[in-house]
């Protein structure tokens, strides 16, 4: 099983890729896609499509985990995030992968034990679980890895060692 977790956005998309082979779990890749704010939405969506299509192919991704969006103060941002999610859904279907979705509270609870945990606490847990990992410059990356782990744990009866 190879799980791609994505923290979607129109300026930054964090991602993490974990492979589970028996009881062995390996962190394959992580990072973020930075999108230019000078590009229109169609151009950014195309970039997102190409980038994640290549990642899915390169790592032979079997599962994709996404954070469900929440309607904040700006309905336009919520709508635009739906465009990104649509592209990701299309890729999942095209590559015959399985999609998993988790609410922000579910992710925080799974990682920290508390659904209201701040982002820096989630990042702290991620860095403790992957001690060889350098601290990423953006929280989008640790958020994506948290989503990735939820996809892993959702498919496992027991939580494997991540060392």
Enzyme catalytic residues: 7, 67, 140
Pairing of strands 2-7, 63-67: parallel
E strand or H helix that includes residue 5: strand 2-7
Radius of gyration over alpha carbons of the chain, in Å?
Answer: 15
DSSP E strands, 9-116: 12-21, 24-34, 63-67, 98-102
Q: State the Cα–Cα distance between residues 33 and 13, nearest whole angstrom.
A: 5
């Amino acid at each position: 099983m190879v799980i791609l977790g994505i923290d979607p956005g129109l300026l930054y998309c964090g991602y993490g890729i974990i492979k589970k082979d028996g009881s062995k779990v390996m962190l394959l890749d992580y990072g973020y896609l930075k999108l230019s704010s000078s590009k229109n939405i169609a151009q950014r969506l195309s970039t997102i499509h190409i980038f994640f299509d290549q990642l899915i192919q390169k790592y032979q991704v079997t599962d994709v985990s996404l954070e469900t969006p929440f309607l904040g103060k700006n309905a336009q941002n919520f709508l635009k995030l739906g465009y990104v999610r649509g592209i990701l859904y299309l890729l999942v279907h095209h590559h015959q992968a399985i999609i998993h979705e988790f609410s922000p509270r579910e992710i925080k609870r799974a990682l920290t034990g508390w659904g209201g945990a701040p982002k820096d606490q989630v990042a702290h847990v991620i860095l403790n679980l992957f001690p060889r990992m350098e601290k990423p410059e953006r929280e989008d990356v640790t958020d994506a890895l948290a989503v990735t782990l939820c996809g892993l744990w959702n498919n496992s009866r027991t939580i494997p060692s991540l060392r």
